[in-house]
Structure 1
């Protein structure tokens, strides 16, 4: 057997055993990628918007890659646990699918993340933007945002979030700071249980991803008061934005992103981005995301990096103003 043929067989064996290291992938070229199952680490509990996006992409991306595409939920510490695993990954086939807060907000909230998002992760693309919807159990009688805020000055009101440091928590804390209001925070582990307890009345209100609560608003089990983004939701156009309710300039729009370990060769990052954005930009996928109140973004790594830097500055200023820390 020639040395070249031996080396080829050795490379295949190594790929099957645990994947070629990034340097070897770079040498073989991005065309050889992927050589084993691709893992999408999602650092949120099931039910979050990013889970929906990955589930929609999974079968078509798997067909494009010619390898299994696996999603693994690894929640905890505002997404830091799953993100840390990806930052340290060296197998060349592990990608982070997460809300942008992991890289834009967490550095301001956690003194010890275990990794540096700016150095250990690189953006692949932004997937889709999403907003939070402020909802209350109909039995509270809060018909709009103004009524809710007036009530907080007379009696204790509770609100649920999907977890400390996550988009729903941040959106509400920004609203409370902007209106000089106080509402008791009850953090949950993920949006699904939060929505269930809102419906049952275990908690009065919540600022939850619209993707999760819209079905409950449409069937009357929740009352939608406002959305966090700068524009009304196309799926619920009758519900005003927070900014329209006299909180001028309020905008808490978030984005689900793909991030790769910094060790992943640029050619592979570009290939992942190309495969994913090609699927995201099909009319079918855009429509399916829109049905879930998710607006397709599909930007370049450079565009994602610029936006992340701007949002990190914005949330850093807000976190400092609110004196918001989590460790």
Structure 2
């Protein structure tokens, strides 16, 4: 299948309810996505809803955005634990928000039963191409050296205080021993536009968002945030090659309400992990610069626990808060 056809069919999933024909007598599964339609979490969820039809029947994707993802996640937390309502748990909703919001409507550690991780997406540190050329910066080491010689002259943008890009930037600054002014914007798109316009010098953005402008030569990728180089961006080193131990992934996965019977979790895990391993899913996810990561429920639960512990200190050090 041609790339354009694949991309069109993938994006088309965001334009209509995602469902599949259910086996006779079965009840539909409601998959709550705590963000608006059209984004990577929504599209990847709709791809899976299509892929699991033979095993699970009807899976309806229900977008419930608001409060940084807390509204949709709370609906999952308070649903009946019968396997008929599941949802998306992301680094924002289940690792960052518990420390960013002074009051949470749910307990991220106790109110959910993990099913499987779905996706890992690299972040990439990118510079405005004209700025990089003007400052003669071609590598991450040169960016760090410039920042140390010119403290406070560099700035970076993000989608807002407490966003993944903001916190990644603070972790980078701390690891590199530099200072750069943080400029928060009202969402990822305005932050990207500010970088393209040269209003900010660098951003740490997810690869799915940054890739088109990298290919167009408008921004320059200096390093990816993952522990290993990304096959989606060949030739670009990791931040860890300059700052040992640095590693950040953007991830999301599937959860059910706490108390969902283990046999139900096992059935859901089997169906979704099988779908994540299919070539069709991998091909569609690759268009979004996303890597499928099927796991056991235990492994996904452990990932969320590690990430919550990690971001507690990061959010507190950044001083970010929402309410």
Deviations 1:265-319 (A, max 9, x none): 3333322222211110112322432443322221111111122223333333444
- Please tell me whether residue 180 in structure 1 is matched to residue 177 in structure 2: yes
Tell me which of 166, 179, 190 is aligned to 2:163.
166
User: Where in structure 1 are there 5+ consecutive unaligned residues?
Assistant: 1-30
CA spacing shift, 1:164–1:155, aligned 2, 3 Å: closer
- Please tell me whether residue 35 in structure 1 is matched to residue 32 in structure 2: no
CA spacing shift, 1:311–1:219, aligned 2, 3 Å: same
Q: Is the 8 A contact 1:108 1:319 kept in 2?
A: yes
Q: Is the 8 A contact 1:280 1:296 kept in 2?
A: yes
Q: Is the 8 A contact 1:50 1:98 kept in 2?
A: no
Q: Which residue of 2 aligns with 1:228?
A: 225
CA spacing shift, 1:274–1:165, aligned 2, 3 Å: farther
Q: Which residue of 1 aligns with 2:239?
A: 242
Tell me which of 50, 53, 72 is aligned to 1:59.
50
Q: Is the 8 A contact 1:163 1:188 kept in 2?
A: yes
CA spacing shift, 1:91–1:315, aligned 2, 3 Å: closer
Q: TM-score, normalised by structure 1?
A: 0.78
Q: What is the alpha-carbon root mean square deviation over aligned residues?
A: 2.8
Q: Which residue of 2 aligns with 1:12?
A: none
Q: Is the 8 A contact 1:126 1:304 kept in 2?
A: yes
Q: Which residue of 1 aligns with 2:10?
A: none
Deviations 1:136-179 (A, max 9, x none): 22121243323433444355433222343333222111111212
Which one has the largest radius of gyration? Answer: 1
Residue 89 of structure 1, CA deviation:
2.4
Q: Which residue of 2 aligns with 1:284?
A: 280
Q: Is the 8 A contact 2:81 2:258 kept in 1?
A: no
Tell me which of 211, 215, 230 is aligned to 1:214.
211
CA spacing shift, 1:71–1:144, aligned 2, 3 Å: farther
Alpha-carbon distance in 1 for matches of 2:72, 2:185: 18
Q: Which residue of 1 aligns with 2:87?
A: 96
Residue 46 of structure 1, CA deviation:
5.1
Q: Is the 8 A contact 1:133 1:226 kept in 2?
A: yes
Q: How many pairs does the alignment contain?
A: 294
Tell me which of 267, 274, 292 is aligned to 1:296.
292
Deviations 1:8-41 (A, max 9, x none): xxxxxxxxxxxxxxxxxxxxxxx999513x3333
Q: TM-score, normalised by structure 2?
A: 0.79
SS of the equivalent of 1:160 reads strand
Residue 113 of structure 1, CA deviation:
1.1
SS of the equivalent of 2:109 reads helix
Residue 234 of structure 1, CA deviation:
0.5
SS of the equivalent of 1:257 reads strand
